[in-house]
Amino acid sequence: MKRFLLYILGFLFAGNMSAMKIDRIEPPCWWTGMKTPLQLLVKGDGISSFDNVRVIEDGIVVTGVSKGDSPDYLFIFVEETNPGKTLPGKYNFVLSDGKDSLSFRYDLLQRRKGSMDRESFTNADAIYLLMPDRFSNGDPSNDSVDGCLEKADRHDPNGRHGGDLTGMINHLDYIASLGATAIWSTPLLEDNEPEGTYHGYACSDYYKIDPRYGSNDLYRTFVAYAHDKHLKVIMDVVTNHCGTAHWWMKDMPFSDWIHVFDKFTRSNYVLTSSYDPHASEKDAEICTDGWFDTSMPDMAVENPYVLQYFTQVFIWWIEWADIDGLRVDTFPYNDKYAIAQWCANIRREYPHISIMGECWLNDTGGIAYWEGGHHNKDGYNSNLPVIMDFPLMIAVRNSINKSTPGWGEGASNIYNTLAMDYMLERPQDILIMLSNHDTERFADIVNGDVRKMKIGFALLGTMRGIPQMYYGEELGLQSAALDKGDGGKRIDFPGGWSGDSLNLFDPLQRNPEEASVYDFVSKLFNYRKGSRVLQSGKMMHFNPVDNVYSYIRYGSVNNSASGDIHSAGGNHASEVFVAVNLSRKNRILDWSRYDEIIKPGRAGKNIINGNKVVSGENTVIKPLGVLIAEFSED
């Protein structure tokens, strides 16, 4: 009753109500008990003159109002008067210009229990990366949607093909059965450019799922269903750039909302300029302020209003959809101090959440600079918990086809790359992969050779770090047409569309090669799901001989996310031994090299075929062969 009376009294004394229309309020709602300050972006024609703002009800208060450079924006800053005790509900804001008034209602919701303490993805997980438009079309009715410029055309490799959230929901069992424990989907937010929107990296509305994928409610349903299958969900986010079709591009709040040059200026992509002590300031500026592409305006995240906007956007999605982690596209192309603050802001609200940054440099020293907590000479700390191991991906890809390697090539390239782990603070928490949506598929690199694909997956599933597999990789799928650019690499999953002549979700329709790769991957990753020694164990590797690379996973690494863990829930291996033969000849293992950890005469088991393995006995690894053996405690 009190709240109702306050509402009535507020409007009786509000003065003349203006006919002005509020077009947009972001965030669209918020929650009580949040640590993040609330900055409301309010947009409407000429609204900046309505800068006298109050809230009718008790519980929250307006602490400040700022105008943008455009007269069509107000930024309203709101705090709880008694943090932690504010009641959820609808709160009425009244805005006045001294003569006329207008109002809006704003929802403050109740947080999920334990939301702040949510766990995230760790090295105990295996991530399945998919592109929604190319994975499965579960709802053909939304392939083309009124209001979205680009319509579906499955014949165009760079067009939209119709994959959607319903298709993703339909195949959660497939992903879980593979041994994956988390899903990373490329962006699902609206991308309303006139063409090339299937990838989703040119956002036109940060608070809206692209209607060709579904709706905000359907995304939340997808997350809930994924959780029911024990799958975590990682959202792909873009803070560095939006799309030219974004609604604010017609009327930006501030002149420095994006980076603007006298003429179009593309990034020079020289990421080394961020830490190079000899770098030109101009080179560094063009790298971070230049546009990523003509359709991708570069966001000025160093503007505090922009920084707070992006902080709130992705806290909103975490809270609203209950997601488990974030992957940040083109991380180093942001202003490095602003994006470090952004990471800190997110983790202030969710202390345990993992944020993975795409820092695409090809050397370990380059990626190490961006690892949160790294002791950089210039004192910079990105606050980024997880980086991506592009150097290892490149080393594996360059090594696997070398039948007669030169000095430092072949297996030695992998060994030498991992030796650079001394530069990293947390090598056990780095994301490792064979390929992703921006590269050729791993099967392209090895020309469809099943033996080489198994070697790649053996490394991916047993190496230190957080493994990520790319959709279709588990079946050895190759790109449709490498000469068609990214669209030719980002193939439709066979069977994801009604009427497909081949359905590879169905085991009975796989050819022997596809079945062989899938069975190897699913057996390995389901084993890994129960093996703490593979998830968080230490690693000892051995100088390659005759192009054979071998290592042992043992013990555990103390990990702030997953804890200091010594035994597996599903199996009790104390060591896992791995050897991959990149040569084209049979190789006999010299077990005496491994007796620091695995003493002669110990009995083990090949985790792929179940055969007995005894250390010290003659063990032959075939050309391009793999051995993964568990040795249980004596």
Cβ-Cβ contacts under 8 Å for 146 (sequence gap 6 or more): none
Tokens 């210009």, located at residue: 97
- Short-list 364, 311, 368, 363, CA closest to 334: 311
What ranges in 329-426 are assigned the alpha helix state H? 336-349, 364-368, 390-399, 411-419
Which H or E run contains 49? none
Question: For 16, what's the count of Cα atoms within 13 Å in the CB-facing half-sphere?
Answer: 7
State in Å, rounded, how far the first CA of the chain is from the last one.
Answer: 72
DSSP 409: -
Q: Tokens for 328, please give them.
A: 């940040």
The helix-helix angle for 390-399 and 411-419 (nearest 10°) equals 160
> Looking at 133, 329, 421, 492, which residue is catalytic?
329
- Short-list 488, 236, 209, CA closest to 358: 236
Q: Tokens for 228, please give them.
A: 């029911």
Cβ-Cβ contacts under 8 Å for 575 (sequence gap 6 or more): 533, 552, 553, 554, 597, 598, 630, 631
Residue 169 near residue 271 (C-beta atoms within 8 A): no
- Short-list 450, 567, 436, CA closest to 131: 436
R_g over Cα of the chain: 27
> Looking at 358, 371, 492, 514, which residue is catalytic?
358
**Dist CA 104 CA 20 (whole Å):** 12
Instruction: Give strand ranges (E) for 201-348.
Output: 205-209, 232-237, 325-328
Cβ-Cβ contacts under 8 Å for 368 (sequence gap 6 or more): 374, 387, 423, 424, 425
Residue 531 near residue 568 (C-beta atoms within 8 A): yes
Main-chain phi, psi angles of 614, to 5 degrees: -120, 125
**Dist CA 231 CA 432 (whole Å):** 19
Kindly list the strands in the beta sheet with 354-357, ordered across the sheet, starting from the edge strand earlier in the chain. Answer: 386-387, 354-357, 325-328, 232-237, 182-185, 127-130, 466-470, 431-433
Residue 351 near residue 117 (C-beta atoms within 8 A): yes
Catalytic residue at 329? yes
Output b/e per residue, 67-104; b: 16+ Cβ within 10 A. Answer: bbebebbbbbbbebeeeeebeeeebbbbbbbeebbbbe
What ranges in 420-511 are assigned the alpha helix state H? 442-445, 450-462, 486-489
Main-chain phi, psi angles of 407, to 5 degrees: -60, 125
Main-chain phi, psi angles of 344, to 5 degrees: -65, -40
Classify residue 511 as exposed, middle or buried by CB count within 10 Å of its CB (0-12, 13-18, 19+). Answer: exposed
| Residues labelled as active-site residues | 329, 358
